[in-house]
Structure 1
Amino acid sequence: MLSTPSDRHRPDIDGLRAVAVMLVMNFHAFPEALPGGFIGVDIFFVISGFLITGIVARELDQQRFSLLTFYARRIRRIFPALIVVLTATLVLGWLWMLPSAYAQLSADVFASAAFFANFALLLQSGYFDVESAKKPLLHLWSLGIEEQFYLVWPLILMLAARLRLNILMTAAVLGVASFLLNVALIGSSPVATFYLPFTRAFELLAGAVLACGWSYFSQTDAASNLRAFAGTALIATAAVVLNTKSAFPGWWAALPVAGSVLVLSSPAAWGCRYLLANPLLVWIGEISYPLYLWHWPLLVFYGIIKFEPLTPLDGELILGLSTVLAWLTYRWVEKPIRFGRPSPLKIASLSTAMALIAVSGAMVVQGRGFGFRLPPEIREMADVQSDSSKWRFHQCLLDLGHETSFADDCVDRNRRPLILVWGDSTAGALLPGLRSAQQKRGFGIAQFTSSSCVPALNTDMPDAPNCRAINEQVLSLARELRPEIVLLHSTWSQYLDGMAATVAALKKETNARVVVLGSVPWWKRGLPNEVLRYFMLHHRLIPERLGDADHDGSDAKLRAKLEPLGAEFISVWDVMCSAEGCLTRVGDEARDITASDQVHLTEKGSVFLIQSVIDQVLGGQAPRSSNATQ
């Protein structure tokens, strides 16, 4: 006879669900306020493993367990709210996403409907990556892991019962093996460890161990209070100490998992009976599943539509809307289907609806995001991509993770005056404009640019490995080439001391004119997306100037810091922006848009900027013959 907990409803478990979902929601809406709130998912895993294993173990012990009935219960529990949210997400994507982004969302819809979202996301990026914050269905990785676990776990329990194996020991051995695999892989494969069911199964199995070994936990008030207090402390510690840079799950996962087990094992504790079981937390716990489903897509689409950082008020309003939608979904969709009379027709209808959603997602992917939703000029303009081939990427614009030296043809050695271009990828984007101006003005170009590498000497940059060494290399090349002009350009915002060292070294060692080109306008979520947003709101092409670009505020600082050292400063903001806003396009065609993302100029944008400043850059210097001294 197995020792399993009572099957009576425990309101404190609903309260613990509420704590879990609030941790996750607040982490997503206010990540700086609650850096470890993502552990709410781990609490959910433990609760799920505890409750479902208890049900299966009791039914096996009573010889009335049915695999088909089990899966039918899972369908009635999981499908109704998920169908509603996936449908809403597809509709919002149709209204507010570019074709390429909508195709990716629809691929995620397909993966979510098929319950392998964790594998799909594993192939894309990590959970804490910047790009992941733009994925409306990112949070459904957890649902994939849970349902994959329940495809296998009941079969293992049935086999263990048939072979008369100790189910508690079976769960414990598998749980320890999963935990050790997680610890072994977290260093070398952190993203895979986060998303794979094999390395997260120990969290569900921890709940299973508790369910199967219930008699080992004393239910006296003193023991329960002690366990509940210790469990609460572990969960709180994890929520406060952990952050997106923590090697999670790894060893850290032991904190929320053990904490959840201890709290679940203590229904007699004062905190469980009076705090977790209070009506408000119980109500939030009852709607926690649709609440989890709704909150993240709403946060992501709010960012897509508003194109502004989330303010505290925004976050509170979205979480409030999520709560309203979750209650409506629970009251009018989930509750009637989940708790109503079971019938084969219900199961067939839910399965068919989920299959139709998966097919819809696949059709959108096949249709490449259904670009016909947008007028051709809007679609083409909004789909403009960076043409890095014209920036001489991997030759004269280095990816410092792969290349550490410049190609020989990065210098026009037989043309003078020579403009040496030194900076990051935004400097590389100046090349189309410089080449266009070169045809009329006859100067030479030496391009030494590196992605994310500001031309700041004696400075280490965390996001640009080898940047310090590359900058020293460029200075050495400048000494050798003796250019008449050095054009410095990047996304500045910081590293002023390093920039000052660069200007001082150039003036001393090359005697060149040093021209500093200020930062380009920053188009929040990218100018192509601004084109789409403007059309969605106003049903016409974006105006030639728009006031939605930001300035990093570096112009005044750069002038004050670098002009006393002999540098000449040119403000890009003054060239491309006015009281009416910043330049978005120089014509009505897709190629006329000025930026391909947040900061990189398109060919037309580059040509416009360089035409506007080339006289200042050259400073009246006339081209010299190819026999000039070099």
Structure 2
Amino acid sequence: MIPSSTALPASPLLYRPTLNGLRAIAVWLVILGHWTHLPFPVGEMGRITFFVLSGYLISGIVWKQQVHPGAPAGWGRRLRTFYARRVLRILPPYYLALALGAALPLATLHQYPGWFVLPFSNLLFYRLQHWGEGVGHYWTMAVDEQFYLVWPLLLGLLGRRVAPFLALAAAGLLFRAVWTAWFTSGFVLVLLPACLDMFATGAVLRIVEHRPRVQALARGPWVVLAWAIWVSLWGLTHLIGSENQELWLLTYTSLGSVAGFLTLAWVLRTPDADYQPRNGFLLHPVLQWVGRRSYGCYLYHLLLPVFFQRAIFRLFPATMASGPALREFWLAPIPTVLVLTPLLLAMAAASWAWLEAPLERWKDKFTYAKA
């Protein structure tokens, strides 16, 4: 740990409580999408928002704490602090979730444990071309961890200008197009290069968020319009003809990144005399509570349906006269959501109280050395 006499405050960015409210909404869009299997990809709205938010927050930390190559002397030591803080925040709860999944047991974890212990589950799913039972969501965590590893180096190369990050975002779209044409479109979106448009868009927002033109666009109607265009793209590529669905796979994260950009700009916008953003609902105590525990909600949300399904099959065996009908009833979307929601919130609350909050306090002991 760096001595406190030469350290900077642990929190590198201004605390924005509205982000907790946004996290709560985004994570439950993902959860409800997975639990209900809706035809419309509502969960993708949450995932895109989270990736854009990661690009925004991590870029801000790296730039403010100067932990990238080319920063003033000592950047390597500050980079080690950055990684230590990320490890403490992310990995212990994740490994606990893996242990619970192994105890359930989940077959994919037992067959390929190394791919999950190290941040490569996204590559495993690409290799298998299917999701593992109860563990499919861990690909996003693998991508995030790979992003943490490479992003400080990329920021050192690209500087703090908008154009290189727009080029990087275009590179993400180009990668998906080339990979789809030369190899396969299946599972291409789980690869880190295919996600660069979302991370780069977050970095762009970090650079331009206070510019007058961005502030003018940071309004609710523009956010609604952006997501409406995104929804329209889904409708045009899925409802009119299945032959257009590959166009959706190529472009929806890029278009969604624009919507995520405007959403975050609106959430982060500071009220002024001319405009009062109508995002105060994000400060509601329920959303704040869930937002602080959103990581736990995400970690465990696919374990519970597996447990629930196995319990229902045991309680209502096929030999029971009404067994099939009862199974169909309890495993329908509405009963599943009603039963699993309180269980998930209880698990997330326990994870926060007994693991994540103590780790947050420990993480704050790792402070950044002065440049």
What TM-score comes out, normalization by structure 2 length? 0.76
Partner of 2:42: 36
Return the match for 1:189 from 179, 184, 187: 184
Q: 1:329 to 1:256 in 2, by over 3 A?
A: same
Letter in 2 for 1:155: L
1:169 aligns with 2:163: yes
Contact 1:210 1:265 in 2 (8 A): yes
Distance 2:208 2:337 in 1: 41
Letter in 2 for 1:183: A
1:76 aligns with 2:71: no
CA shift, 1:105, in A, is: 2.2
Q: 1:335 to 1:88 in 2, by over 3 A?
A: same
1:7 aligns with 2:13: yes
Letter in 1 for 2:301: H
CA shift, 1:237, in A, is: 5.7
Distance 2:15 2:157 in 1: 28
Return the match for 1:152 from 138, 144, 150: 150
Return the match for 1:199 from 194, 201, 206: 194
Q: Where do residues 50-449 of structure 1 align in structure 2 (5 Å cutoff)?
A: 50-60=56-66, 63=72, 65=75, 66-93=78-105, 101=107, 104-126=108-130, 132=131, 135-160=133-158, 165-186=159-180, 189-218=184-213, 224-234=219-229, 246-247=245-246, 249-266=249-266, 267-268=268-269, 273-307=279-313, 308-309=327-328, 310-311=331-332, 312-340=334-362, 342=364
CA shift, 1:305, in A, is: 3.9
SS in 1 for 2:15: coil
Q: RCO greater where, 1 or 2, for CA within 8 Å and sep 6 or more?
A: 2
Give the fraction of aligned pairs with identical amino acids, expressed as a percent. Answer: 27
SS in 1 for 2:128: coil
What TM-score comes out, normalization by structure 1 length? 0.47
CA shift, 1:270, in A, is: 5.0
Distance 2:90 2:238 in 1: 29
Q: 1:84 to 1:42 in 2, by over 3 A?
A: same
Letter in 1 for 2:155: L
- Please tell me the root mean square deviation across aligned C-alpha atoms, in Å: 3.0
Letter in 2 for 1:259: A
Distance 2:357 2:233 in 1: 33
Contact 2:219 2:277 in 1 (8 A): no
Q: Where do residues 492-507 of structure 1 align in structure 2 (5 Å cutoff)?
A: none
Distance 1:206 1:217 in 2: 18
Letter in 1 for 2:171: A
Contact 2:218 2:265 in 1 (8 A): no
Contact 1:25 1:295 in 2 (8 A): yes
Distance 1:239 1:272 in 2: 27
Contact 2:122 2:142 in 1 (8 A): yes
Distance 1:243 1:28 in 2: 19
Q: 1:299 to 1:270 in 2, by over 3 A?
A: farther
Q: What's the CA shift string for 1:20-69, capped at 9, x where partnerless?
A: 11111111111137543233212111111111111111222984751101
Q: What's the CA shift string for 1:504-538, capped at 9, x where partnerless?
A: xxxxxxxxxxxxxxxxxxxxxxxxxxxxxxxxxxx
Q: Which of structures 1 and 2 has the bigger CA Rg?
A: 1
Distance 1:137 1:217 in 2: 43
Q: Where do residues 481-496 of structure 1 align in structure 2 (5 Å cutoff)?
A: none
Q: What's the CA shift string for 1:185-236, capped at 9, x where partnerless?
A: 3465222412111111221111111112334354657853444343454566
Q: 1:277 to 1:190 in 2, by over 3 A?
A: farther
Which structure has more strand as a fraction of its residues? 1
Contact 1:137 1:297 in 2 (8 A): yes
CA shift, 1:170, in A, is: 2.7
> Structure 2, unaligned stretches of length 5 or more?
1-11, 270-274, 314-326, 367-371
Q: 1:185 to 1:38 in 2, by over 3 A?
A: same
